[in-house]
Amino acid sequence: MVSRNFIRIKVLEALYAYRVSHSEDTLAAEKRLKHAMTEFYALFVRLLALLPALTRMDAKILELKKGRLLPSEEDLRPNYKFSENRLIRQLDENPVLEKAIRDYACGWDNDLDQLFLKPFYTTLSNQDFYTRYLKSGENAYEEDKTFVLQLVELFLLENEECANYLGETRLRWRTDYNDAIIAVYNHLKKYTERQKTDKALPALYKPNPDGGRPEDEVFLEELFTQTLAHDKAYEEIIEQCIHNWEMDRIATMDMLLLKMALCEFMHMPSIPIRVTMNEYIEIAKHYSTPKSRIFINGVLDKALQLLRSEKRLHKQGRGLMG
């Protein structure tokens, strides 16, 4: 489910936290990193659970309107199209998701959640795509699915209100919100009308076809531990690749990105060099200074020349590409 780019960002965050703590040991830092990945999965489950929670709120409000002292014609003839959305019903009736919600304590049934859901549902019900869905006159699974994907993409993605609410529950969830929404969208795209009731949830890491540990899980651990283990060696390489620049003037985030890239160059033979270069330059755009990507690109180019001349690059398989 998670991408290599997401893993690199999580490792970067863990390395930065380790550096600024000055006291945390490496085992504790690694444990914290793995916990962060588990928290991301819990957020994914909580966001899936949000969809049935919204349809239940819809049904509840429609029933309350019917019971008004002077109900309108619309109140007496409620439109249950959203409440009965077929894809969301599949989620609600899925025992695998139900178990995950229990395991991660990610339901939406407590009083605080209900206080959030009511106005949040009202905001959703005022969206143009929501109104079009209710009035379309169609009654098909594919329309229900299209609507749910629109709900995720047009309403939940980059929704500050929802992200902030979840971030108040667990701080990490604010940062991971959009990545988890994208994971939800990708999961829901695979739903079909005739699939099994107990459709499996995606694993956090893509399973290894050989039955061993997932490659991405190993990548997470090795990128973190190897970057720390070879810290001094990487600093020596970086120092040889900068001119008219003092080491202590390099921003902490830039230094960490350079060391992580060197780790992939030197200790991860199956990762192509061009992939590593592109990924860390891209991460620098979002996590460091405006000029960082240019600086990192220049240092890594020189580092590659140095490592090639000293025969310290050992790529194989996929790593030979690019």
pLDDT at position 17 over 70? yes
Q: Are the CB atoms for 67 and 7 separated by under 8 Å?
A: no
pLDDT at 315: 85
Q: Are the CB atoms for 270 and 319 separated by under 8 Å?
A: yes
pLDDT at 322: 58
Q: How confident is the model at residue 120 (pLDDT cuts 50, 70, 90)?
A: very high
Give CATH 1.10.940.10 domain extents, the chain: 230-320
Q: What is the number of alpha carbons within 13 Å of residue 266 lying toward its C-beta? A: 23
Task: Report the pLDDT averaged over residues 267-290.
Answer: 95
Q: How confident is the model at residue 22 (pLDDT cuts 50, 70, 90)?
A: confident
> What average pLDDT is seen over the chain?
95
Length of the chain: 322
Task: Specify the pTM.
Answer: 0.93
Instruction: State residue 76 phi and psi, 5-degree precision.
Output: -80, -15
Helix ranges (H only) for the chain are 4-21, 26-66, 73-76, 86-92, 95-103, 111-125, 128-135, 141-150, 160-169, 171-188, 215-229, 231-240, 252-267, 273-287, 292-309
Q: Are the CB atoms for 265 and 273 separated by under 8 Å?
A: yes
pLDDT at 271: 96
pLDDT at 23: 72
pLDDT at position 319 over 80? no
pLDDT in tens, 137-186: 899 999 999 999 999 999 999 999 999 999 999 989 999 999 999 999 99
Q: What is the CATH number of domain 230-320?
A: 1.10.940.10
Provide, rounded to the nearest whole percent, the portion of the chain with pLDDT above 70. Answer: 99
Task: Report the pLDDT averaged over residues 42-56.
Answer: 98
Q: Are the CB atoms for 67 and 206 separated by under 8 Å?
A: no
Rounded to a whole number of angstroms, the CA Rg of the chain reads: 24
